[in-house]
């Protein structure tokens, strides 16, 4: 090991050891949705709808329950559960109703996430996978809800037609699904989605507690402030070690998080499928925080400009970054180049 690398290694170990010696306050408690999720689902659109307490989606559910709700098992279910938890899944609740007179079935569900960013990320993945489902026919639209997506499905094997609307509000995602043996539920589904949107709370976790809105406490005591400095130091030296290793080896594998067998969601509101590793555009080099991509000369803001070689969804509204589907930025937004000094520059190929 060279002298520089040995020194960096020694400093990293020293900083980590000091970090372990500092006393920490009790770990932050996992927030609980309020109001409770069993109280936020809208009532059915008519008195002829009876609740099915024996339905597959009835009552409280966990990320594990959702991942296995459609008979998914093995690696796909495990990846689904891990992805939900990574997005900040907290809790879920669902109900199923049926109208025997009209021959309609309805499912409503809500998922609470730790923050609004996690909810929107999950919404984007749901839309991408629903549009990739073989039974997907076309998009459904509704006014007065944002952000959302709608989808019309027709399953010939079961002679079932369905319309669903999925939207994010605050830190929550809501699902409204109507199904029938005839193509006669779109209007009802749109009306129920608007009813659910209006009835839903602004959030079930205060926005001040969302991870993306966390603010450091400048009045904290020395141990807490030093803790933050130590964490930043460790991040910097680890990045530097990686950079030195890349320079010694020459061309190296892509940056962490660039390519993965991260699961895409298939069947969106009902199931998830295996990952998209190997799909075109999955070799995009992303920054460690996932907010920028490397164009060969500088870091580009992924929220303002999509890589021209990235895989697009069938309707061109989403692109694949190697881990998840992202919305394609609207035209007219000025692209931002991230200073290359912030992260190590990827080796030239």
Domain match, 41 and 129 both: yes
Domain annotation covers residue 229:
yes
Domain match, 85 and 174 both: yes
Domain match, 70 and 119 both: yes
- pLDDT for 232 beyond 90: no
Instruction: Mark which of 148, 182, 208 sits at the end of a domain.
Output: 208
- pLDDT for 224 beyond 70: no
What integer is the mean pLDDT of 10-14? 52
Domain match, 200 and 228 both: no
What integer is the mean pLDDT of 188-209? 97
pLDDT value, residue 317: 84
pLDDT value, residue 122: 92
Of the pLDDT bands very low, low, confident and very high (cuts 50, 70, 90), residue 230 is very low
Instruction: Mark which of 208, 234, 250 sits at the end of a domain.
Output: 208
Domain match, 66 and 154 both: yes
Q: Phi first, then psi: what are they for 176, rounded to 5°?
A: -130, 115
Q: Which range has the worst mean pLDDT, 88-102, 108-122, 244-258, 333-347?
A: 244-258
| Range of 45-49, 122-126, 196-200, 281-285 with top mean pLDDT | 196-200
What integer is the mean pLDDT of 36-60? 90
Domain match, 180 and 95 both: yes
The neighbouring-strand residues paired with 299 are 294, 338
Domain annotation covers residue 214:
no
Q: What is the mean pLDDT of the chain?
A: 76
Of the pLDDT bands very low, low, confident and very high (cuts 50, 70, 90), residue 91 is very high
Domain match, 141 and 174 both: yes
Domain annotation covers residue 21:
no
What integer is the mean pLDDT of 221-236? 44
Domain match, 55 and 183 both: yes
pLDDT in tens, 264-281: 333 455 332 223 333 444
Distance set, CA 145 to CA 24, 80, 167, 214 (Å): 43, 27, 7, 27
Domain match, 282 and 317 both: yes
Of the pLDDT bands very low, low, confident and very high (cuts 50, 70, 90), residue 309 is confident
- The CATH number that applies at residue 122 is 3.40.1000.70
- Indicate the number of domains in the chain: 2
Of the pLDDT bands very low, low, confident and very high (cuts 50, 70, 90), residue 70 is low
Domain annotation covers residue 184:
yes
Domain annotation covers residue 18:
no
Is this model's pTM higher than 0.95 or not? no
Of the pLDDT bands very low, low, confident and very high (cuts 50, 70, 90), residue 298 is confident
Domain annotation covers residue 27:
no
- pLDDT for 138 beyond 90: yes
Domain annotation covers residue 25:
no
Domain match, 45 and 147 both: yes
- pLDDT for 210 beyond 90: yes
Domain match, 47 and 188 both: yes
Domain that holds residue 152: 37-208
pLDDT value, residue 325: 83
Q: In the chain, what percentage of residues exceed pLDDT 90?
A: 39
pLDDT value, residue 287: 87
Domain annotation covers residue 24:
no
């Amino acid at each position: 090991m060279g002298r520089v690398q040995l020194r960096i290694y020694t400093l990293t170990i020293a900083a980590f050891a000091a970090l372990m010696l500092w006393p920490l306050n009790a770990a932050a408690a996992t927030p609980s949705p309020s109001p409770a999720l069993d109280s936020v689902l809208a009532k059915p659109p008519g008195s002829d709808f009876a609740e099915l307490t024996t339905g597959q989606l009835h009552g409280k559910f966990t990320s594990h329950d959702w991942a296995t709700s459609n008979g998914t098992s093995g690696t796909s279910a495990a990846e689904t559960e891990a992805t939900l938890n990574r997005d900040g899944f907290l809790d879920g609740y669902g109900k199923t109703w049926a109208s025997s007179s009209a021959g309609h079935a309805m499912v409503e569900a809500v998922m609470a996430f730790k923050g609004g960013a996690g909810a929107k990320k999950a919404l984007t993945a749901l839309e991408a996978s629903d549009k990739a489902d073989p039974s997907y026919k076309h998009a459904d639209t509704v006014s007065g809800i944002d952000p959302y997506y709608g989808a019309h499905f027709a399953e010939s094997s079961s002679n079932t037609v369905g319309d669903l609307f999925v939207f994010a509000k605050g830190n929550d995602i809501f699902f409204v699904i109507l199904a029938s043996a005839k193509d006669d539920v779109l209007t009802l589904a749109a009306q129920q989605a608007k009813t659910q949107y209006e009835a839903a709370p602004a959030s079930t976790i205060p926005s001040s507690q969302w991870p993306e809105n966390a603010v450091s406490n400048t009045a904290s005591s020395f141990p807490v402030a030093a803790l933050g400095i130590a964490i930043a130091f460790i991040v910097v030296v680890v990045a530097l070690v990686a950079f030195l290793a890349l320079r010694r080896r020459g061309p190296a594998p892509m940056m962490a998080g660039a390519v993965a067998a991260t699961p895409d969601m298939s069947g969106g509101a009902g199931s998830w499928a295996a990952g998209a590793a190997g799909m075109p555009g999955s070799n995009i080099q992303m920054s460690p925080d996932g907010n920028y991509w490397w164009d060969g000369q500088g870091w580009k803001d992924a929220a303002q400009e999509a890589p021209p070689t990235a895989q697009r969804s069938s309707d061109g509204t989403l692109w694949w970054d190697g881990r998840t589907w992202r919305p394609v930025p609207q035209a007219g937004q000025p692209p931002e180049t991230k200073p290359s000094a912030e992260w190590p520059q990827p080796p030239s190929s």
